[in-house]
Amino acid sequence: MTATDPAYEAVRRDGVLRVARPGTEWFSTGWNGGRRTADCAYNVTVPDGWDRTDLEAYVDERLERADFDAGGPALLTGVEQTDARGARRGSVTAYATAGISNPAALPMDPEDDSSAGVPDPTDGDATPGRGTVNIVVGTTRALASGALANLIAVAAEAKATTLLAETGVPGTTTDAVVVGHDPTGERAAFSGSGTDVGRATRACVREAVSASLKAHYADTEADLPNSVADATYGVSTDGRAEVFRPSLEDR
């Protein structure tokens, strides 16, 4: 491996991105989520009009067609893998595909939000679009159990911050994250934004998401939506929740 090779190497083939490092423990928020030890994680592009519900069988078919024979956590997206971009800093490598045809807005003052009237997801399931922001993050450090779980939050925060700056919304209705670590690496008890792993993850996710978003909208006839109302699909959480103060129990 040369100095320029990422520790988590990616290969793109037949609409599938494979991110590989032997013996990685992954933690995924995707359809087959949770913790899993595997040599690879995948990001799979689905075609227009895709309506399969047998997701495990479908992913197996796509991996076989792409001649990838190792199992692992998989994410699904409507964004082409030609728009995937990677970034590396220190012990961390991140890959992203980003499209926002189905933005999910969270207005801080919903009554005055310009997208008021767009269906709230609490009123029913949102229709999936051709968007989705999928992120795969890997570190060569060995993370404590809680630190690996927290890395999902770190990556999601960086994704939301990047999208807010680029698009005005923090995500889409179908975003997902996979994070991985090397159990044989140098031990790290924490992964927050003040740690080496956390800082590197934030930088990598920012660069990868931003670059993929630019590539996606440079390669498509669609324009970057200016609001949920301008998007093909999308939701705005305009409903209010009841705020209350937890009760104090005297002891």
| pLDDT one-digit tens code per residue, 99-143 | 999 999 999 988 754 444 444 444 444 444 457 999 999 999 999
pLDDT band at 231, cuts 50/70/90?
confident
Is residue 215 predicted with pLDDT exceeding 60? yes
Average pLDDT over residues 94-98: 98
Continuous segment of H or E residues that includes residue 55: helix 55-65
Output 127 or 197, whichever has higher pLDDT. Answer: 197
The answer to whether 129 and 231 have CB atoms below 8 angstroms apart is: yes
Q: Which residues contact 118 (CB under 8 A, 6 or more apart)?
A: 105, 228, 229, 234, 235, 236, 238
| pLDDT one-digit tens code per residue, 52-76 | 999 999 999 999 999 999 899 999 9
CA distances from 51 to 46, 58, 62, 78, 215 (A): 9, 11, 15, 12, 26
Question: One-letter amino acid identity for 2?
Answer: T
Alpha-carbon torsion, ordered 222, 225, 231, 236, to 10 deg:
160
Q: Tell me the whole-structure pTM to 2 decimals.
A: 0.90
pLDDT band at 4, cuts 50/70/90?
low
CA distances from 8 to 4, 20, 21, 129, 181 (A): 12, 5, 5, 29, 10
**CATH topology for 9-113+127-236?**
L-amino peptidase D-ALA esterase/amidase (3.60.70)
Average pLDDT over residues 172-187: 97
Tokens 């990616």, located at residue: 10
Average pLDDT over residues 17-24: 98
Question: What pLDDT sits at residue 49?
Answer: 85
Bridge-based pairing of strands 104-105 and 235-236 is: parallel
What residue ranges do the domains of the chain occupy?
9-113+127-236
Rounded distance between C-alpha atoms, residue 217 and residue 74, angstroms: 24
Average pLDDT over residues 136-158: 98
Extract the tokens encoding 12.
């793109």
